[in-house]
Amino acid sequence: MSTDLFYNPTGGQFSNKLPMKSVESLSYLNSIEDLYRYNGKEAIGNYYPVRTLPSVDIDMDAEWPVVMPAGTIVAVVPLKDARAYTADDDSAGIRTDGYQYVSIGVDGSHLEKPINYMYPKDIAGLIVAANGGADQNDGYTANCGKYGILTLSGEVAEAASDPYVRVANRPIGIVNHKVFSDMRLRYLNYDARQGSNGNSIALGGVLTIPFIGVYGAGARATVLTAIRAAVDAKHQYAWFSEADLATLESVIQSGDFLMPDIKGKFTKFDGADQAQKFGKILEHRNRVPWNLDEVIDSIPGSGMKGTDTGGLTARLYNFITTILQQSAIASVSYAASKDNVKKVMYEPLLTNTANVSIIIGQLDVAFGILV
């Protein structure tokens, strides 16, 4: 009999030492119901995303591509009668005579269906992310094809595929839930993330969303690129970029108008096209946390509101820490400090990019076509 048993009881060496598994699904980002400050206006229509949109993220629970995160400002691509498609419509993802490739058979054949089968007559149209009124090329990645997305020609999407061109559009509303790729009929008995009812669009309301402002004489574009790579796939937010702090603060005032940027996020209205005016800043809402949220016990590393987030909401905490972790801005170790995370809510941060600083906060934003 080993004497180790007395000093090393079964499992004893594991006590208080096992690490926690990091969870990346972040289901609280699936919808924006917690962002509504006041009731939104009525939702309209049933819409499917354009079938050939590239993915921005992958839902690993279902292994299903996401083409727009919750809260994205969207535009509509109208559906025509099938007979009206006398040539391929790249923007709608519909081929000549109103057909779409829906899958690739196990024998390598391209399987197709007419749009009258794919889109019931009560489907109002197709949606894409708003782009501020300028054409945008959305590239595919290897993950797009790996998880099932096909191009207009029925090929498995890959990084070398021609990009999907989101032609200049105008905003109509926002989606309250993240939008999954329309891959109905792609796999046998596996249409997990697209039902027959499509997605609805909220016409207006008031949201409390995070914002980030970038300013300074340095490479602001480098910082903005890092920010977008960090949070675009999961968050709705507003961003601003100006030469100095005074100018930046002057464009984030109550009553200032907003518009969609190239990815359906909020940014300052440039005054060029009134149809792009889609939001108005009501006020700053930076006095967080509220209701003693900072003393609620939450498991370390969980990212859930309470002691683990310094009292910030899980969404806001994820937004800030994900940005701060970028090497162009700060570092993983910097973002790990709760004091640092909260400090950026009231004090500018000089980033790792020379002569560029950022400020982060929250805004109440009224959104809609008539604001």
* Mean pLDDT for all residues in the chain: 90
**CA 363 to the chain's CA centroid:** 17
pLDDT confidence tier of residue 41, bands split at 50, 70 and 90: low
- CA separation for the pair 172, 193 (Å, rounded): 24
pLDDT confidence tier of residue 369, bands split at 50, 70 and 90: confident
What pLDDT, on the 0 to 100 scale, is given for residue 25?
Answer: 73
Q: What's the mean pLDDT in 301-330?
A: 90
Listed range (39-43, 79-83, 112-116) with the worst mean pLDDT: 39-43
Q: How many CB atoms lie within 10 A of CB 140?
A: 22
What pLDDT, on the 0 to 100 scale, is given for residue 303?
Answer: 80
What pLDDT, on the 0 to 100 scale, is given for residue 219?
Answer: 98
pLDDT per residue as tens digits for the range 326-355: 999 999 999 999 999 999 999 999 999 999
- CA separation for the pair 172, 134 (Å, rounded): 16
- CA separation for the pair 16, 261 (Å, rounded): 47
What pLDDT, on the 0 to 100 scale, is given for residue 287?
Answer: 86
CB 276 within 8 A of CB 368: no
- CA separation for the pair 247, 241 (Å, rounded): 9
With a cut of 70, say whether residue 195 has pLDDT above it: no
User: ∠ CA 212-136-57 to the nearest 5 degrees?
Assistant: 65
pLDDT per residue as tens digits for the range 9-22: 555 666 666 666 66
In DSSP terms, 239 is beta-bridged to 212, 267
Q: How many CB atoms lie within 10 A of CB 69?
A: 25
What pLDDT, on the 0 to 100 scale, is given for residue 44?
Answer: 82
With a cut of 80, say whether residue 155 has pLDDT above it: yes
Where is pLDDT greater, at 275 or 193? Answer: 275
What pLDDT, on the 0 to 100 scale, is given for residue 198?
Answer: 77
pLDDT confidence tier of residue 48, bands split at 50, 70 and 90: very high
Q: What's the mean pLDDT in 288-292?
A: 80
Q: How much of the chain exceeds pLDDT 70, in percent?
A: 91
Which residues touch 290 (CB under 8 Å, ≥6 apart)? Answer: 311
Q: What are the residue boundaries of the structural domains of the chain, listed by start?
A: 42-202, 204-368
Which residues touch 304 (CB under 8 Å, ≥6 apart)? Answer: 298, 314
With a cut of 90, say whether residue 190 has pLDDT above it: no
Q: What's the mean pLDDT in 311-334?
A: 95
What pLDDT, on the 0 to 100 scale, is given for residue 182?
Answer: 94
Q: What Rg value do the Cα atoms of the chain yield, rounded?
A: 23
What pLDDT, on the 0 to 100 scale, is given for residue 40?
Answer: 67
Q: What's the mean pLDDT in 122-150?
A: 96
What pLDDT, on the 0 to 100 scale, is given for residue 370?
Answer: 63
Where is pLDDT greater, at 284 or 301? Answer: 284
What pLDDT, on the 0 to 100 scale, is given for residue 20?
Answer: 65
Tokens encoding 365: 């934003």
**CA 160 to the chain's CA centroid:** 24
What pLDDT, on the 0 to 100 scale, is given for residue 230?
Answer: 97
